[in-house]
Structure 1
Amino acid sequence: MGQHAQAIREKHTARNVTLIVLAVLIVLLAIAAAFGMQLYKQAKSVKAHESQAISSLSAINDPAKLKDAAASQASIAQAQQQTAQAKQIAHGSLWNVAAKMPFVGSDIATVQGMTEVVDNLAQQTLPSLTTAVQQLADANLSGAEGQLNLQPIADAQGNFDKLNQQVQQQNKQYNSLAEPKIGMVKKAYQQGKDQLDNIADLVGQVSNATHMLPSFLGQNGARTYLLAAQTTSETRSGGGLVGSLGTMTADNGKIAVGDFHPNGEFVNGNNGTAEEHAVFNRPLGFSFDVRDTFAVPDVSRNAEMLNASWQRSQYACNIDGLISVDPVFIQKMVEINGPVTLSNGTVLTGENTAEYMLNTIYKDVPVAQQDEYFEYIAKTVMDGAFGNMTVDKMMKVAQSIGDLAENRHFYAYTFHDDEAKYFQGAGLAKNAPESETNPETGIYISEQNPSKMGWYIDRTSEVTKTGDKTYHVKYTLTNRMTSTEMATCTSYILGGEQKGVGGVPVAPSGTSAQRVLIYAPAGGSIGSIAVTGDVRDRSNATMDGKPLNSSMAYIAPGKSVTYEFDVTVSDKATANMKLDQTPCGKMTNDVKYNY
């Protein structure tokens, strides 16, 4: 009986312990649920405050509003109130405990870091930014006879350099935070990142402009630049066929744009190296006179080749650098400066200029008169682009030039080593991929059937991150020419029937023949390239010291060609990989980044 009673007592004890444990677990779960619910409510509140702050800060990305003291100060005051509240909530005791928990801790720590960075930006950096802009806005930039007073811009360099350093450091701190996994946090993180990236870009562009403009406009001595006007309707790797060359002189803020001269006057010699000729020796062998210069995607080589052509001409003179523009750049300057009326009554605006120069003119204006129109447009627009400068205009031009240069619609290259930091060193004159820390894959196309088919070639690209240092790239070229459109086009636009060795037909009129060059990121590699569509003549080559893959894509009306491949970037990469490619007839190329 004693043993039986002992067994019963032990059984009861075990049951009681189990009940106690269950009760404790229920209490803990209740506490955790309450803890989680409270944390969730606070997270929603933080997200709301941050969203309102970001909405207020969006005004800072508009140069006109930034110049308006009352508007910018009101926006910043609203943002400061929201960021302070978000930071206070995110650094409460509840959040500090949650930041050490498994699963959610990393995301909590990221939110805390986000609120710190954005609050620091709103409380300290942005008020200084508006002060610096106001000081510049109050200065007199207009001199006698249209001359630009450069001294106030030069005087602003120190303030904007300091601001740029602060903003770039804040952006770096934000980007170093662990990328969140929870959907709500991830969305808020991306919104903040996009806004901070935009502000960092704007401040960086204005800071660089305060250095570049005085140097560019001759504060350090008179400067003469070659002006190259390209047309991307006949594509070349770094832009398009060079239609004309001219000069622009600048002397302590006074600008003069000389006459443009058609490319026929510069078919005066061969500038290409053996490697460059080897890549472009078929089906149309490029002569590498002035017209084919940008078949090489390195602007350092383009500047060298164009200067060589200029020095062999009757217009030879000392050249300090290269400015190269295309119709998209011209359209953006027309948008900033106002419409341009042509002799035939056509009014060019910030919406129709690129299409007119890349397509319409070839239908409406006789070939013999086209050069005259192109030269008038380019000269008129360049006269206005950097003349009659105001602070508002300077900021609009600075903000535009950053995007235009990034997408290869505008190049500014100097032969003065002491000024190069603010020209090619600031990304205003891109080469094929050469940075290991900011990796790019380069895809460049050059039309090898004399035509103006570039206007009809659409490009869509998708870059998907597949690992810490790996990506997958999908790149598609589509010829949107229709049979109806073909009926309105001359052979000058469509090109003739393409023939190969022995006169054997290769492709009919209206088919775009693009030499496609694919470059791996600097210090990285690309895997095997899969293609769909009519792709021929595939090979590996080296040009100007950089390895590349070369092929010919034949794109008939209504047809497409697609390239797909995997990319590995350098171990030194600190940013996500981007795609660098030949500019098209609009501001940006269609690239979807899946990071």
Structure 2
Amino acid sequence: MTHPGWGEKWMGAQALPTPRAPARTPSPVPGRTGTARTGPPFWTRRRRRALRVVLLGVVTVLLAVVFLLTWVALDAVRARGALDRAARDVATLQADAVAGRTDRLDVTVADLQRHAAHARDATSGANWSLAGRLPGVGPTVEAVATMATVVDRLARGPLPRLAEVMEVADPATLAPRDGRVDLGPLRQVAPDVRSADEAVGYALRTVTGIGDEPLLPQVSVAARDLRDRLADLRMSTATASRAAQLIPPMLGADGPRDYLVLVQNNAEPRALGGIVGTVLVLHADEGRIELTDQRPGAQVGSFDRPVVELTRDEQRVLGGNDLGRWMQNVTATPDFPRAAEVAREMWRRETGQTVDGVLSTDPVALAGLLDGVDTGPGGVLRGDELVSYLLNGVYRTQTPQEQNEIFADVAERAFTALSTGGSDPAGMVGSLAASARDGRLSVWSSEPAEADLLEGTVLDGALRGVTADRPVVGVFTQGIQMAKIAYYVDTAVDVVERGSRPDGSRELAVTVTYTSRVDAGEVADLPDYVVGADETRPGEVRLRALVYAPAGGRIVAASDKSGDVGLSPQKHDELWLSFHDFSLNAGETSSITYVIITGKQQDGGVILRTTPGPRPVVTSVENDAPGE
């Protein structure tokens, strides 16, 4: 019996379950079987969680990279500024060292050390180590760090000693006193000079190698600037190093030395300058220099046979056996070491004396050493006026015997000025350096180690067709008449690069121009010694131009204003050359343009060697290669 208000507890021992609505079964979907999912499976949810973790990690890494690159960029700005200032310090250091401003070197070195330290500190953190491993930016980061390290090592290493070294090497310090050079200080600093040069050379090679990787433009510019500054400094340290190693032994520090000096006469041209007009002998012992002999070049020889065995090239190109029979003609070869070898043997056969080396110079170089020479009625002459007198005036007013006496007097005066230091040692050294650059001063030593140190410098005067990656073009002049009429000739050589070739060679146009300054109205007043005793056309100048192609190159064409001219290809020491004869009437100009192909992969600037004349050769080298 029940009652509606009693509830379930009054329903007996077990309550009946309350009926529930049946579960809804979804309508089947065509093509599907089974029941529908009420949510994503567990593996999908796990994948989404993993994706969120990965994305979070990527964002974190990107933020870290951005932070790292920002940090590196800020340091790079600091380093770049410090490196710019350090590069300027290197340039100042080199300029002051060359100019002899040794009192300023310590200050410049201190500035360089400070700027280099700033660059080093800005590029030495952990951020740089990490950034260097990143693709794309790694080479740029490493380049900046490398430049900072290179400059810092130089600043803390050999360069602080450069001030002391340059003070010892100062021309005023090295200037002879009472005919003697004090070699002690130079020998003492020689190891430091060599160490400094090696360090600068290593730094230059390191910075040059930076350009092998793609860099940001700003860093590429900084690397090129630093490389150029180091290259200039290397020129100074290399010169100082060679000087420190050469000067003491060559001036007799390790035993007496004797040197043959060839004084050339540019009024009668030969490839190296002119015929040998005067021969001197210098004796050096412990820095003391003495003039022990002098005589006209014509008084050495002639010899019935060449004093050395001449090559077929030399006989064919330089005029038979003349090179080896007359002292006046040893300068016909454009290779000074060969000329020195022949002259040394001629002197040995003539006098019995074997010299230790050979030097060559000319009146232009000698005039640069002299304050002036009293020529009697002509008064005191100096500079260009003295050169004009020695190469021309003396032949118009003096007898051959008087000419020899004047040449001997001027040579002795120049030696005296050189051996005593003169009133301006720095100016004298500068004049000698300029003469060497113009090919008017050459030096050869019979000692192999010293010859190796001279090789490749402006003093060696060797015939070569390439230097490093730079093609060398030679344009040499020979006089082909016994006369001093070539004093009136001006020479110009223009080199224009026309472009590169597929094999890596380059095409050059080399124009050689000779101009006669002979005044037709004055020819009748010129003595036979000037115009030539056997000349049928007085005032005519006859010359031979020897044009040498670079190593591995060749001359393919030649033309003048009338059109193509024939080539006469020859080989000399593995270099192709062609020669042409010029005949110039009074006031006439004549020129020939040669088309020359260089050797392969000679990418550097063209080096032009010419015969130094009574006046400077006018030269120009124009680079028209695409992209350069």
Question: For this structure pair, what is the TM-score category when the shorter chain's length is used for normalisation?
Answer: 0.7 to 0.9
Partner residue in 2 for 1:311: 348
Change (3 A) 1:483 1:121: same
- Cα deviation for residue 463 of structure 1 reads 5.6
Q: CA deviation at 1:158?
A: 0.9
Corresponding residue for residue 474 of structure 1: 509
1:529 aligns with 2:560: no
**1:443 and 2:471 aligned:** no
Aligned to 2:589: 559
Q: One-letter code of the match for 1:126?
A: L
**Partner Cα distance (2:451, 2:509) in 1:** 34
> Deviation of residue 130 (structure 1)?
0.8
> Equivalent residues in 2 for 1:212-227 (5 A)?
212-227=246-261
Aligned equivalent of 1:290, options 327, 350, 355: 327
CA apart distance, 1:433: 0.9
The answer to whether the 8 A contact 1:111-1:185 is kept is: yes
Shift, 1:249, TM fit:
1.0
Change (3 A) 1:150 1:558: same
Q: Are the equivalent residues in 2 in contact too, given 1:457–1:477 (CA < 8 A)? A: no
Shift of 1:587: 6.9
Is residue 2:91 matched to residue 1:62? no
Q: Report the CA distance between 1:229 and its aligned residue.
A: 0.2
* Paired residues of 2:267 and 2:392 also in contact (CA < 8 A): yes
Identify the match of residue 245 of structure 1 among 258, 279, 287.
279
* TM superposition shift of 1:251: 1.8
Q: Take 2:143 and 2:584, find their aligned partners in 1: how far apart are those partners?
A: 47
Correspondent of 1:569 among 599, 605, 626: 599
Letter in 1 for 2:492: R
Alpha-carbon contact 1:209-1:398 (below 8 Å) kept: no
2:610 and 2:407 map into 1 onto residues whose CA distance is 25
Are residues 1:590 and 2:622 paired? no
Q: Does 1:53 align with 2:89?
A: yes
Q: 1:215 to 1:455 in 2, by over 3 A?
A: farther
Question: What is the one-letter code of the residue matched to 2:513?
Answer: T
Residue type at the aligned position of 1:531: S
Q: CA deviation at 1:248?
A: 0.9
What is the alpha-carbon root mean square deviation over aligned residues? 5.0
Q: Secondary structure at the match of 1:478?
A: strand
- Which residue number corresponds to residue 548 of structure 1? 577
| Residue 363 of structure 2, aligned match among 327, 341, 345 | 327
User: Which string of whole-angstrom CA distances, capped at 9 and with x for unpartnered residues, describes residues 225-252 of structure 1?
Assistant: 1111012232211222111112111122
1:431 alignment counterpart: 462
Equivalent residues of 1:83, 1:115 under 8 A apart: yes
- Alpha-carbon distance, 1:115 to partner: 6.1
3-state SS, counterpart of residue 567 of structure 2: strand
In 2: Cα distance, 1:58 partner to 1:268 partner? 49
User: What's the counterpart of residue 10 of structure 1?
Assistant: none
Q: Which amino acid aligns with 2:241?
A: S
Q: Does the aligned pair in 2 maintain the 1:515–1:551 contact within 8 Å?
A: yes
- Pick one of 404, 417, 432 that aligns with 2:448: 417
SS of the aligned residue for 2:355 comes to: coil
The 10-residue stretch of structure 1 (225-234 or 355-364) with the greater mean CA deviation from structure 2: 355-364
3-state SS of the aligned residue for 1:218? coil
Question: Post-superposition shift, 1:515?
Answer: 3.1
Q: Pick from 376, 384, 397: which aligns with 2:409? A: 376
- Separation in structure 1 between the aligned mates of residue 511 and residue 197 of structure 2, nearest angstrom: 37
Q: Give 3-state SS (helix, strand or coil) of 2:484's partner.
A: coil
Count residues in correspondence: 547
TM-score by length of 1: 0.74
Whole-Å separation in 2 of the counterparts to 1:86 and 1:416? 45
**Match of residue 164, structure 1, among 173, 197, 201:** 197
**What is the 5 A alignment of 1:476-495?**
476-482=511-517, 484=519, 487=522, 490=526, 495=531
Q: 1:263 aligns with which of 275, 294, 297?
A: 297
Higher relative contact order (CA 8 A, sep 6+): 1
Residue 166 of structure 2 is matched in structure 1 by 133
Return the TM-score normalized by structure 2. 0.70
Any idea what the Cα deviations from partners look like across 1:334-362, whole Å, max 9, x if unmatched? 4xxx5454455644546655455445555
Superposed CA offset, 1:462-513 (max 9, x none): 36473795333333333343465873772668745998xxxxx8x8734442
Check the 8 A contact 1:447/1:514 in 2, yes or no: yes
Distance 1:224 1:586 in 2: 31
In structure 1, C-alpha distance between the alignment counterparts of 2:510 and 2:457, rounded to whole Å: 27
Whole-angstrom distance in 1 between the partners of 2:257 and 2:163: 32
Deviation by residue 1:292-340 (Cα, 9 ceiling, x = unmatched):
2111122232123212332343x44232221111234324434xxx545
The corresponding residue for 1:9 is none
Secondary structure of the corresponding residue to residue 234 of structure 1 = coil
1:229 aligns with 2:263: yes
Q: Matched residues in 2 for 1:360 and 1:396: separation?
A: 27
- Secondary structure in structure 2 of the residue aligned to 1:442: strand
The answer for the alignment partner of 1:173 in structure 2 is 206
Letter in 2 for 1:415: S
> Which one-letter code corresponds to 2:507 in the other structure?
H
Whether the 8 Å contact between 2:262 and 2:359 is mirrored in structure 1 is yes
Q: Select 1:147's aligned residue among 134, 159, 180.
A: 180
Tell me if the contact between 2:297 and 2:327 (Cα under 8 Å) persists in the aligned partners. yes
Cα distance in 1, alignment partners of residues 367 and 226 from structure 2: 31
The answer to whether the 8 A contact 1:537-1:552 is kept is no
